[in-house]
Amino acid sequence: MKFKIINEIFIEAINNVNRALSNKTPMPILKSVKIDLTNEGINLTASDSNITIKQFIPTFINDKQIIFVEEEGSSAIPGKLLQEVLRKANDEFVELTMIEDKLVHINFKNAVFTLNCLDVKEYPNINLISSNQPIIVDSKKLSEIIRQTVISIATSESRPILTGINFKVQDNILYCIATDSYRLSEKIFKFDNEITDINIVVPGKSLLELEKLIQSKPGEIKIHLSNNIISFEMDNLIFQSRLLDGTYPETSRLIPKEFGLTLGFNRHELIDIVDRVSLLSKEGATNIIKFDVYEDKTIISLESTEIGKVVEEVHPLSQEGSLLRIGFNAKYLLDALRILDDNIVKIMFTGEVRPFIVKTKDESITQLILPVRIE
Amino acid sequence: MKFKIINEIFIEAINNVNRALSNKTPMPILKSVKIDLTNEGINLTASDSNITIKQFIPTFINDKQIIFVEEEGSSAIPGKLLQEVLRKANDEFVELTMIEDKLVHINFKNAVFTLNCLDVKEYPNINLISSNQPIIVDSKKLSEIIRQTVISIATSESRPILTGINFKVQDNILYCIATDSYRLSEKIFKFDNEITDINIVVPGKSLLELEKLIQSKPGEIKIHLSNNIISFEMDNLIFQSRLLDGTYPETSRLIPKEFGLTLGFNRHELIDIVDRVSLLSKEGATNIIKFDVYEDKTIISLESTEIGKVVEEVHPLSQEGSLLRIGFNAKYLLDALRILDDNIVKIMFTGEVRPFIVKTKDESITQLILPVRIE
C-alpha cells in the first residue's frame, strides 16, 4: 500500500473514525485504524466492537485530485498516533508507505515517521448492515433528539437497559425516552411519511459519540436497522452501534397529565439561581434543593448541615394553582433547564411526592423529575 | 463584624490571597480566609503555613467608598466557598455579617448564604517580616527570572533543596539557579545599587504561585528577608514564603566556557521539530532524542522499540566546529526552548558526554542540559 494524500482532508476523516477507538479494548488490533486503498479512494474503519465508524475518501472531489495512489492495499495503523502525527505534519501532503504489513512510513517535508503496525489480517471482519427502506431524518433534528434526552440515561450499570435511549415508533410517531428511574426525558417526533413500528434501545454512549460527529454536519441521515445493530449513514460516512438487549420499561403512564400548580420562570434566571444555590452541594453530601411556593414569591433553598445554607427569593413570571413545598435533586433541574431552548420555562407540579415536569412552548420535549420526601 | 463592599474589588482580593490556600492542610482553620475589618479597611490573610498572602483593601480608593463598615471585627471564612459565592453573586455589592463567630451571612440581591465558620481565635498568628533596607526589583523582571529558571527545579523530594531556586547575590549581581541535577537554568541580574550578599533557596512552588500573582501587576516589589522567610511586598499586597533549609550545591563550575560545536536555529522551527519528534516518546518508555550533526545537515531522531522511530532533517542557520552525535531528554530541550524569548537560539556543545548549553542573544540566561550516553 502506498499513497499520497492532502493532509487536511486525511486528518478530518481520521478525526471522524477515531471517535470509535477505545483505549480499553481487549483486542490490541482495535487500537488501529484500518485503511483500505483502491484506485477509487480510501476506506477508513475504526471500531471498539460496540461502535464502528467507517469513512470513504474518494480519490477525486469535484475534479480535484485528493489521493495519489501508487499501490493499492490494506493496512492497520495505530490510530491515535497516526492522528497526532498528521496533526503535527507541517506539509500540504503526507505520504504513507506500507512495508511488509509490519511497518508504515509516513513522510512529509523533512520528516519520516516509521510506525510499528499489527498485521491487517488480524483486523476483525465487521459487517455493515443496510436496508432498502431506511428511516430518513435530518442531522440537526437527530442531534437535538439526542441532546435533549441523553441527560437522563443511567450512568450506573445496575440496570444496563437504562444506560440506553429507547426509540419507539408507533403510528409514524417516534418516542425517544431516557430514564435513570429518578428522572426521565421524553422527546416526540412526527414523521411525515409511513414508518414501520420499532422498539429498540441504543446505548447512550454511542449516541453521545454520534451527536459529536453529526453536530457540524448538516444533511440527511439514513437509519438502517437489523436485529441487534443500528446504522447511521451520511455522505461517505457510516456510524454503526450495537443495540442493547432487553425490554425497556413502559414509561408512558409516569408522565402526569394534570397539575395542581404551574410556575413560569425566565429560564436563564432560574439556571443562575439553581446554579448558585447548588454551590453548597458541591462539597457536601446533600444535593436536595427545596422550592417553597407562596402566594407572592417562591423561596428556593438548599441546606447542608456541614457547610451552611442558602436561601434565595424569586418571583415567578406566572403562577397558577395551589401552594406547595417540594424537594428534589438540584442537578436534575439544572440539566433539564440547560438543554431546553426557550427563554420561558414552566414547571408543573401535581403534589409534594409526585413527579413533576419541566416544559417550554416546544411541546415535543418533556423533562420529568421525581421529588424526594422532605421534612 | 459587619460590612458591605463592592463585590468586584472583593473578588479580586480574595482571588489573590486564595492562592495560598491548600486543600491538603492538616489544620482545618487554614482552609479559611481571615478577615480583619477596621474603619480603615479590610486585611485579608490566607496561608498554608508555607506561603502566606495578605492583602489590604482600603475603605476609600481615590475618594470612592469601597467598603461600608457597620461593625469592626475579625472572622475566618471558608476560603474556596467564599470565592465561589462571590463569583456567582449577581449584585454590585455584597454584605457580610458575622453571627457569634460561628456563622457568616453573605447577602446580595435576593440571596442569603449562611456559611458555617471556625472560630477566628483558632487562626494561627502569622508574623510578617519587614526590613529597613529591602531589595527592590521590578515585578516584570522578577516574573521573568522565575519563569526562566523554575523549569529546572526538581519535582522529586529525594533532595529537597533542589525543589527550590537558589538566589545568590555577590558583588551586586544576582545569580538565580535551579537544577534537578539533569539540567540547570541560570539567570543573572545586575543591580544598579549596593546590595548585601545573600545566599538563599526559595521553594519553587512558592515562586510559581508568586509568578502567577505578579504576572498582571506591573510595579515595584520590595523584598524583605529574615533568617528563614522571604517576603515580597507590593501595593497593599504581601506574599511571604518559608525558605528551604540546607546548602545549595555549588554549580558555577558546571557551565562550560569553551565549545567544540555551535549550532544556530530558528527557535520556533526547532520547537516544532522537537515537539513532533517527541510524539513517539509520549506512549513509550524512551524520551531520548538524538542529534547527528553532519557538514550539510543535522538529523534529529527518536526511536522507541515498541512504537517505531522518527527521523527529521534540519539545516541549521549557522554551524561552527566539529561534527558530533549526542543524545538527551527531548523534554529538557523543549522546556528550555519554550521559555526563551528570542527568534534565534544557539546550542553550544563541548562533547558527546559533556553538558551543553542553550542560549539566545540575551546573555543573562543560560539553559544547561546533561546528555545521556548513546550507542
HSE-up of residue A257 (Cα within 13 Å, Cβ side) = 2
Tell me which residue in A81, A103, A111 faces B276 most closely, judged by beta carbons.
Answer: A111
Q: Is the pLDDT of residue A233 over 90?
A: yes
By C-alpha distance, the chain A residue nearest B77 is A307
Q: What is the model's pLDDT at position B101?
A: 85
Is the Cβ pair A116, B312 closer than 8 Å?
no
Contact check, Cβ <8 Å, A312/B85? no
User: Minimal Cα distance from A300: which residue of B?
Assistant: B111
Closest Cα in chain B, distance from residue A7 (Å): 16
- The pLDDT score that the predictor gives to residue B3 is 98
| d(CA A9, nearest CA chain B) in Å | 20
Q: Locate CATH 3.70.10.10 in chain A.
A: 261-369
B85: which chain A residues are within 8 Å (Cβ-Cβ)? 276, 279
Q: What is the mean pLDDT of the segment spanning B305-315?
A: 94
Among candidate residues B252, B254, B253, B258, the one with its CA nearest the CA of residue B349: B258
B208-240 per-position pLDDT tens digit? 999 999 998 999 999 999 989 999 999 999 999
Cross-chain residue pair A307–B81, CB shorter than 8 Å: yes
B289-308: average pLDDT: 95
Residues of chain A neighbouring B111 (CB-CB closer than 8 A): 273, 276, 310-313
CA B42/CA B17 separation, integer angstroms: 13
Cβ distance of B88 and A114 shorter than 8 Å: no
Residues B6-46 have pLDDT tens digits of 999 999 999 999 999 988 888 999 999 999 999 999 999 99
Distance from CA of B111 to the nearest CA of A (A): 4
CA distance A113 to chain B (A): 4
Q: Do B310 and A103 touch (CB under 8 A)?
A: no
- The answer to whether the Cβ–Cβ distance between B110 and A312 falls below 8 Å is yes
Q: Rounded distance, CA A137 to CA A169, Å? A: 13
State whether A88 and B313 contact (CB < 8 Å).
no
CB contact under 8 Å between B116 and A84, yes or no, is: no
HEC states along chain A?
Answer: CEEEEEHHHHHHHHHHHHCCCCCCCCCHHHHEEEEEEECCEEEEEEECCCEEEEEEEECEECCEECEEEEECEEEEEEHHHHHHHHHHCCCCEEEEEEECCCEEEEEECCEEEEEECECHHHCCCCCCCCCCCCEEEEHHHHHHHHHHHHHHCCCCCCCHHHHEEEEEEECCEEEEEEECCCEEEEEEEECCCCCCCEEEEEEHHHHHHHHHHHCCCCCEEEEEECCCEEEEEECCEEEEEECCCCCCCCCCCCCCCCCCEEEEEEHHHHHHHHHHHCHHHHCCCCCEEEEEECCCCEEEEEEECCCEEEEEEECCCEEEECCEEEEEEHHHHHHHHHHCCCCEEEEEECCCCCCEEEECCCCCEEEEECCECCC
Q: Is pLDDT at A283 greater than 70 in this prediction?
A: no
- Residues in B closer than 8 angstroms to A310, CB to CB, are 111-114
Q: Give the DSSP H or E segment for B291.
A: strand B288-293
Cβ of B90 within 8 Å of Cβ of A310? The answer is no
pLDDT of residue A285: 64
Residue A288 is predicted with a pLDDT of: 94
Q: Which of A81, A112, A115 sits opposite B311 (nearest CB)?
A: A112
pLDDT score of A45 more than 90 = yes
Does A110 sit within 8 Å of B312, measured CB to CB? yes
- What residue in A sits closest to B272 (Cα-Cα)? A88
Query: Is residue A375 predicted with pLDDT exceeding 80?
Result: no
pLDDT at B131: 87
Verify whether the Cβ–Cβ distance B307 to A103 is below 8 Å.
no
The CATH classification of domain A261-369, taken from the options 3.40.50.1980, 3.30.930.10, 3.40.50.450, 3.70.10.10: 3.70.10.10
pLDDT at A25 over 90: no
Judge: B279–A311 Cβ closer than 8 Å, yes or no.
no
For residue B112, the chain A residues in CB contact (below 8 A) are 310-312
The answer to whether B112 contacts A311, with C-beta atoms less than 8 Å apart, is yes
At A200 the pLDDT is 97
Mean pLDDT of A124-143: 92
pLDDT bracket for residue B283 (50, 70, 90): low
- Judging contacts by C-beta atoms under 8 Å, the chain A residues touching residue B282 are 84
CB contact under 8 A, A88 and B115: no
Query: Which residues are registered as beta bridge partners of A321?
Result: A261
Do B96 and B83 contact (CB within 8 A), yes or no?
no
Percent of chain B past pLDDT 70, that is, above it, reads 99
Chain A residues closer than 8 Å to B88 by CB: 272, 275-276, 279
Which residues in chain A are classed under CATH 3.10.150.10? 2-122, 135-242
Determine the average pLDDT of the residues in A242-270: 95
pLDDT for res B285? 64
pLDDT recorded at residue A284:
56
- What number is the average pLDDT over the span B345-374? 96
What percent of chain A has pLDDT above 70?
A: 99
Task: Determine the CATH number of domain A2-122.
Answer: 3.10.150.10
Chain A residues within 8 Å of chain B (Cβ atoms): 78, 81, 84-85, 88-90, 103, 110-116, 272-273, 275-276, 279-280, 282-283, 306-314
Nearest Cβ partner for A115 among B90, B114, B308: B308
Check A306 against B116: CB less than 8 A apart: yes
Query: Which of B276, B283, B296 is best to mutate for the A interface (most A CBs within 10 A)?
Result: B276
Q: What is the pLDDT of residues B131-168, one digit of tens each?
A: 888 999 999 999 999 999 999 999 999 999 999 999 99
Number of inter-chain CB pairs under 8 A, A vs B: 86
- Residue B284, pLDDT above cutoff 70: no
Give the nearest chain B residue to A78 (CA atoms). Answer: B307
Percent of chain A with pLDDT over 90: 91
Distance CA B258, CA B237 (A): 45
Which of B100, B114, B117, B273 should we substitute to test contact with A (largest number of A Cβ atoms within 10 Å)?
B114
Q: Which of A85, A272, A308 sits opposite B115 (nearest CB)?
A: A308
Choosing among A104, A113, A300, A310, which should be mutated to test the B contact, i.e. which has the most B CBs within 10 A? Answer: A113
State the fold for domain B135-242. Answer: DNA Polymerase III; Chain A, domain 2 (3.10.150)
Of all residues in chain B, what percent carry a pLDDT higher than 90?
91
| Distance of alpha carbon A190 from alpha carbon A196, whole angstroms | 13
pLDDT surpassing 90 at residue A101? no
A85 contacts in chain B (CB < 8 Å): 276, 279
**Which of A85, A276, A278 has the most B C-beta neighbours within 10 Å, making it the best mutation to test the interface with B?**
A276
How many Å from the N-terminal Cα to the C-terminal Cα in chain A? 71
pLDDT at A135 over 60: yes
The mean per-residue pLDDT over the stretch A66-80 comes to 97
| Chain B residues within an 8 Å CB radius of A282 | 84
pTM over 0.90, yes/no = yes
B248-268 confidence digits (pLDDT tens) = 999 988 999 999 999 999 999
| Nine-digit cell string for A151 | 441527560
